[in-house]
């Protein structure tokens, strides 16, 4: 299996985080650092509205070279964070996914 080049991805990094825990601190700091370094980062800046952004986020995971979960106190209690995390694992081991 050939490795995909950076150009074949829309994003270099997908940030997965629990917004209420880390959005205005740790995650913002790392996001800004990476963007300033020229790294293409996907970060969901809006609160998830049911059914509307789910596909956008799942597609961003598929189209990111690296997926980076930001673990926090509430990460594991968020159904959506766990859903994203499962999608990242499936992608990392190369299982086929439905888009």
- Tell me the catalytic residues: 84
The Cα 62–Cα 7 span in angstroms is 14
Q: What is the DSSP letter of 95?
A: -
Q: What is the DSSP letter of 82?
A: H
Listed in sequence order, the DSSP H helices in 1-99 are 19-22, 28-36, 54-62, 79-92
């Amino acid at each position: 299996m050939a490795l995909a080049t950076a150009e074949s991805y829309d994003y270099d990094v997908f940030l997965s985080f629990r917004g209420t825990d880390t959005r205005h601190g740790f995650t913002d700091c790392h996001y800004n650092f990476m963007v300033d370094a020229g790294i293409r980062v996907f970060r969901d800046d809006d609160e998830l509205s049911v059914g509307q952004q789910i596909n956008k986020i799942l597609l961003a995971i598929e189209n990111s070279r690296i997926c980076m979960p930001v673990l926090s106190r509430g990460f594991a209690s968020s159904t959506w964070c766990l859903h994203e995390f499962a999608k990242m694992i499936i992608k990392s081991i190369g299982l086929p996914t439905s888009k």
